[in-house]
């Protein structure tokens, strides 16, 4: 008879959309990874928005304790992992306190509002010897994993240039509510922290480290109506006063990588006509690859041809690529956003089991945050910045 798995106590701080995503990921962990070293147990959720959220957490996932103060969650016996899924302005305080209490972490990006806050989290994690995953889910896509393998194995030859684009329309409506995301005291930055941090991690993961950059930003919607209640960044505002937007809607950047190649980066939260248009193209001396999240299971590849008049072909990912085999039995069966978060949960659990980091960590989040800070400096001073 197989011995019962040891339990891993889960605590979630903030039970909005992302808190639910984390809970769903842990609830599905053993369905996709039966050999995972632990069985998740839903111990506590802390949320101040509404009683309905906590009641839903208990009813849907079986959380044993519903709290309003995240400090009580961290202090509670039985919580081994703390998911930090609330607004940006609580990330540093929650994550540092959790690490100092010996709890492992799963922190959504941006881990801190600034690189200084993210460095505090990373230092606390290192000092405590705990594991800390960061929410860079796009690197977990099987097509992206295969793209990285092709690039890193030299199949594309010497890399010449990369283009990465992270554009969406979630803030395109001028009557979208002015939530905390548009105020620097609470968010730290606008689309830089929200989407560009993902784009930076994707370039680093697939191609390599960045070395220099120059950036331009714009705020296309300078005022928005005040938010009412627990509004999300998809909510429309009321008829009340319009308040100033304090951070950027749009970013364009020129990048130089450590390998000498070049890259362009473009990101927008107000791009009419685009929803989750996130992707990367990499061009080398002998080939190229192209991937877009809107067609997550496909990788366009241009390989093994004469370099002039070469053509792309579409590779549909199969169980041989990345983690797709944990979710689907054959090629061209689609995966979802939530599946990518199951992979994150699994890699964190593996990290806890082995004591060695697997997957994106808070130290990756620190590099992304330092890059965002450099981008803000470049914008202010209108110059190239060395990382």
| CATH number reported for the structural domain that contains residue 11 in this entry | 3.40.50.720
Closest CA to 371 of 214, 235, 239, 218: 214
Same-domain pairing of 189 and 130: no
Residue 355 lies in a domain: no
pLDDT given for residue 227 in this prediction: 81
Same-domain pairing of 147 and 268: yes
* Residue listed under structure tokens 């929410």: 135
Same-domain pairing of 49 and 111: yes
Domain boundary among 115, 137, 159: 137
Residue 349 lies in a domain: no
Give backbone dihedrals phi and psi of 256, rounded to 5 degrees, phi first.
Answer: -115, 135
Same-domain pairing of 274 and 132: no
pLDDT given for residue 200 in this prediction: 98
Residue 1 lies in a domain: no
| Tokens linked to 38 | 């632990």
pLDDT given for residue 48 in this prediction: 84
Same-domain pairing of 126 and 159: no
Same-domain pairing of 203 and 321: yes
CATH of the domain at 157: 3.30.360.10
Distance CA 162, CA 143 (A): 16
Residue 101 lies in a domain: yes
Domain boundary among 105, 137, 169: 137
Domain boundary among 292, 308, 334: 334
Residue 38 lies in a domain: yes
pLDDT given for residue 58 in this prediction: 84
Same-domain pairing of 19 and 109: yes
pLDDT given for residue 4 in this prediction: 87
Q: Strands 104-107 and 81-84, how do they pair?
A: parallel
Which segments in the chain show pLDDT lower than 50? none
Structural domain that includes position 11? 7-137
∠ CA 353-358-360, rounded to 5° = 135
Same-domain pairing of 99 and 198: no
Domains: count for the chain: 2
Instruction: Look at the alpha carbons of 327, 149, 161, 332 in this order and tell me if their dihedral is positive or negative.
Output: negative
Same-domain pairing of 46 and 103: yes
- pTM: predicted TM-score of the whole model, two decimal places: 0.95
Distance CA 49, CA 231 (A): 10
Listed in sequence order, the DSSP H helices in 101-141 are: 115-128
Distance CA 374, CA 200 (A): 12
Interaxial angle between packed helices 362-381 and 115-128, expressed in degrees from 0 to 180 and rounded to the nearest 10: 160
């Amino acid at each position: 008879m197989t011995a019962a798995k040891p339990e891993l106590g889960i605590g979630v701080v903030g039970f909005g959309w992302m808190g639910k995503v984390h809970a769903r990921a842990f609830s599905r962990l053993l369905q996709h990874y039966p050999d995972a070293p632990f069985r998740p147990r839903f111990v506590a959720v802390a949320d101040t928005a509404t009683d309905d959220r906590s009641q839903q957490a208990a009813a849907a996932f079986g959380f044993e304790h519903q709290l309003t103060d995240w400090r009580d969650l961290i202090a509670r016996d039985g919580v081994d992992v703390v998911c930090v899924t609330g607004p940006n302005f609580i990330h540093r305080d929650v994550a540092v306190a959790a690490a100092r209490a010996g709890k492992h972490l799963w922190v959504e990006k941006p881990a801190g509002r600034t690189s200084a806050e993210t460095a505090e989290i990373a230092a606390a994690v290192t000092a405590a010897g705990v594991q800390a995953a960061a929410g860079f889910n796009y690197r977990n896509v099987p097509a992206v994993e295969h793209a990285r393998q092709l690039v890193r194995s030299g199949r594309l030859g010497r890399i010449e240039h990369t283009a990465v684009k992270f554009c969406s329309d979630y803030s395109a409506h001028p009557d979208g509510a002015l939530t905390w995301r548009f105020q620097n005291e609470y968010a730290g930055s606008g689309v830089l922290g929200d989407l560009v941090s993902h784009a930076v991690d994707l370039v680093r993961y697939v191609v390599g480290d960045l070395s220099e950059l120059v950036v331009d930003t714009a705020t296309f919607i300078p005022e928005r109506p005040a938010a009412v209640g627990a509004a999300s960044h998809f909510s429309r505002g009321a008829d009340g006063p319009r308040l100033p937007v304090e951070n950027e809607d749009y970013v364009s950047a020129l990048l130089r990588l450590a390998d000498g190649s070049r890259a362009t980066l473009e990101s927008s939260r107000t791009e009419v006509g685009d929803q989750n248009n996130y992707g990367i193209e990499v061009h080398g001396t002998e080939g190229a690859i192209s991937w877009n999240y809107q067609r997550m299971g496909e990788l366009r590849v241009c390989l093994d041809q004469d370099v002039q008049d070469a053509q792309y072909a579409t590779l549909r990912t199969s169980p041989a690529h990345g983690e797709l085999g944990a979710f689907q039995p054959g090629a061209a069966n689609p995966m979802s956003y939530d599946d990518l978060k199951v992979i994150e949960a699994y890699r964190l659990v593996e990290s806890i089991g082995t004591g060695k980091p697997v997957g994106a960590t808070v130290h990756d989040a620190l590099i992304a945050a330092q890059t965002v800070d450099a981008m803000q400096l470049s914008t202010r001073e209108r110059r190239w910045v060395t990382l």
